[in-house]
Amino acid sequence: MATFPPLNIPPELLQELSKYTTPTGIADYAALAVLGGLGATYLAKGRLWDKPDPLEYLLYERPQLKNGGQAGSANQETRNIAQKMEETGKNIVVFWGSQSGTAEGFAHRLAREISVRWGQEAMTADLSDYDPVTISEIPVSNLAIFVVSTYGEGDPSDNTAEFWSWISRTTDVSLANLRYAAFGLGNTNYKFYNKVVDLVVEGLDKLGAGALMPVGKANDAEGATEEDFMAWKEDLFVIFKDKLGFQEVEAKYIPSLKVEEDDSLEPIDLHHGEPNNRNEAPKAAAQSSAIRTLRITDSKELFTSSDRHCLHMDVDLSSQPELSYKTGDHLAIWPGNPDVEVERLLGVLGISSRRDIPLIIRALDPATKITIPTPTSANAVFRYYLEICAPVNRDTIRDLAQFAPTPEAKAYLLRLGQDKEVYASFISRTHVNIGRLMQLACPDKTWDNIPLSYLIETLAHIKPRFYSISSSSAVSPRKPSITAIVSSTSLPDNPDELIHGVTSNYLLAISQQARSQQHPSGITYHLNGPSDALQGGKIFAHIRRSKFKLPALGKTPLIMVAAGTGIAPFRAFLSERCQVLKVGKEVGPMILFFGCRNPKEDYIYREELEEMQAALGGRLQIVTAFSRAEGTPRRYVQDRVGELGNDVMRLIEDGGNFYLCGRAGMAREVEKVVGKTMKEAKGWSDDEVNAWSKSIKKKNKWQEDVWG
């Protein structure tokens, strides 16, 4: 540190200066007091005020450095897909864009079948893992296949967003060397059916890429997605044979993973089932919080019917100060599989006694990503990481035949997997998951020759289920609530056998345990969770941000349309509007359309809604529609929207926001009714109605939170 010599100031000068620095009046003393206060305030910074946020480090934390990762290491994955294919010796890449996991599963199945049935070197690629422009470097000797889904208002999946933006805007890249095929997953209940694959194909063609065959499309409205995919796949394989000259070989499982037991590992070294969402696409990761253990503080039954269940659950964020939510967000819940199915699968594989032996999963193929945490155990894999309750598709049934313990079992599986009509009849009578299928095909023997790697590669991985938060962050900031209908449906040709939804029945079991009661159907789960992390009524969950939001101004009119548990976000909206009014701010007029079966059994939150209606003092109109009310004709929300068309149109013209929450089919019908009302009132043409619809959605004045 630098030092300076003392200043030699004459005493006479100091005496003269003191005349000007000594306070002589009230103003001087007041000024000194202010200066002193400012000084004290500054010195108290970081102690009494502007304290540092103890969680501020999370804003700068890089997830890639966790778990031993190193930024900029030599092992960092390339984002050039052409380079990746060259490095790994692949000549076919199957790109996937998936929101729920279906398209991802199709891509993996397709790549594996191309490898084992046609002897080609195929790989899968998450669209968000590679720079879009690098597909222009894929040589003409290679092939690219796109399997992409559409959801919502023609939206791409989160991991397709970057590619979607690039392919729809770029004009200065040539794809003349690219040969491709494309398959889209969609649902005609949505207005923009398969819009994503249409735009992808349009963009590829515009840049000069050559299509091997017409684009394939699946329609999930009638549950035909699986068969649509298989039909398109067989058409693709005809192209392989007739146009590309590929030679079909005997299909035999070739593992891309190696799963080994390692007794040297201790339980503390293992992943026992804790979920992980760090593999999400950047867009999805940015919208999601970290996964945390959250306690359910209260749970109540909303239905009065004894054979149907709908739960209201309050979740406590107090133990996780870094978590927060905003009104309209979603709570993602990570379930566990039921005990009966876990035990069934472990038993049929003959590994019940080895369920807790440590397993290490390694990639044999450099193009394969390991997405299950390793090391782990068979118990954790089947209970928390794989979807073992889902029905088995025909491709998998056919593949399983190669591992059958007896010739009879092999013949049984081949007949079931190769005949579309036989399979359709069978699946309508029996809910066949992987464990049940193996029991049915060969009930007296274990299937001990099936590699665990095959099941990990074949079965879909467990994904979280998303629930609209039904509370307002302004009213209940640390205790979000969800509204969950419990799914238990009977088979078309066997009404006595129920198919139980995994997550909703998992939540029901937690709710019943809190009351010291059993699940109504006797289903049990390991509710304490991996390593007892969920003991005491906790769940693994995370918050996902949503665009389904209230307008900034409380005086903006609202039209809300909901069916069933679609009421959840509107319960939150109305609660927040009541709070706005309570603090003396202006609240605009609102109409809530709500539909359910009948007013006696499933009119959920009825008392709360009526209380909020009273508190809002005539600003809220509630319009109901009951589809199974005794002595009255069936009425649906779209019918009521049509009946009150003039009121709806008036609120829209006054700057109101229109919201829809529920099944996609309902939303589509409501939009038709509103469009018809506007057309008749304004004298518009169909083109003018469509232009208006696009405009209002672009401005976020029309928002949907729909499914199915």
Q: Partners of 144 in the beta sheet?
A: 93, 180
- Over residues 218-237, the pLDDT tens digits come to 998 878 899 999 999 999 99
Give the per-residue pLDDT at 15: 54
Give the per-residue pLDDT at 155: 85
Alpha helices in 44-139 (DSSP H): 57-60, 81-88, 102-118
Q: Are 693 and 675 in contact (CB under 8 A)?
A: yes
Distances (CA, A) of 440 to 424, 430, 454: 16, 10, 20
Identify which of 429, 259, 418, 445 has the alpha carbon closest to the alpha carbon of residue 354. Answer: 259
In this structure, what token pair is assigned to residue 495? 């009404």
Q: Which residues contact 210 (CB under 8 A, 6 or more apart)?
A: 176, 178, 179, 180
Q: Is pLDDT of 555 > 50?
A: yes
Give the per-residue pLDDT at 2: 43
Q: Which residues contact 365 (CB under 8 A, 6 or more apart)?
A: 88, 123, 256
> Is the model more confident about 525 or about 222?
525
Q: Are 678 and 653 in contact (CB under 8 A)?
A: no
Give the per-residue pLDDT at 57: 33
Average pLDDT value for residue range 618-633: 94
Q: Is pLDDT of 23 > 70?
A: no
Q: Is pLDDT of 628 > 80?
A: yes
> Is the model more confident about 401 or about 6?
401
In degrees and rounded to multiples of 5, residue 445 shows phi and psi of -130, 155
Q: Is pLDDT of 595 > 90?
A: yes
Q: Is pLDDT of 617 > 70?
A: yes
- Over residues 454-485, the pLDDT tens digits come to 999 999 999 999 999 999 999 999 999 999 99
Q: Are 490 and 500 in contact (CB under 8 A)?
A: no
- Over residues 84-116, the pLDDT tens digits come to 999 999 999 999 999 888 999 999 999 999 999
Q: Which residues contact 331 (CB under 8 A, 6 or more apart)?
A: 315, 325, 466, 467, 469, 480, 482, 541, 542, 543, 544
Per cent of the chain over pLDDT 70 is 89
Q: Are 375 and 270 in contact (CB under 8 A)?
A: yes
Ranking 72-81, 389-398, 448-457 by mean pLDDT, the lowest is 72-81
In this structure, what token pair is assigned to residue 76? 């960092």
CA distance 525 to 508: 10
**pTM score of the predicted model:** 0.85
Start-to-end CA span in the chain (Å): 71
In this structure, what token pair is assigned to residue 144? 């690219």
Q: Are 534 and 528 in contact (CB under 8 A)?
A: yes
Give the per-residue pLDDT at 221: 83
CA distance 575 to 470: 9
Identify which of 391, 385, 394 has the alpha carbon closest to the alpha carbon of residue 452. Answer: 385
Give the per-residue pLDDT at 26: 56
Q: Are 485 and 309 in contact (CB under 8 A)?
A: yes
Average pLDDT value for residue range 519-536: 95
Give the per-residue pLDDT at 11: 52
Give the per-residue pLDDT at 42: 46
Identify which of 491, 500, 361, 478 has the alpha carbon closest to the alpha carbon of residue 426. Answer: 491
Q: Which residues contact 509 (CB under 8 A, 6 or more apart)?
A: 519, 523, 524, 525, 527
Identify which of 109, 83, 116, 65 has the alpha carbon closest to the alpha carbon of residue 366. Answer: 83
CA distance 369 to 455: 15
Mind giving me the DSSP string for 276-330? --TTS-HHHHHHB---EEEEEEEEEE----SS--EEEEEEE-TT-TT----TT-E
CA distance 198 to 219: 14
Average pLDDT value for residue range 167-184: 95
SS3 362: strand
- Over residues 396-440, the pLDDT tens digits come to 999 999 999 999 999 999 999 999 999 988 988 888 899 999 999
Around 556, how many Cα atoms within 13 Å sit in the side-chain half-sphere? 19
Mind giving me the DSSP string for 488-516? EEEETTEEEEEEEPHHHHHHHHHHHHHTT
CA distance 229 to 194: 14
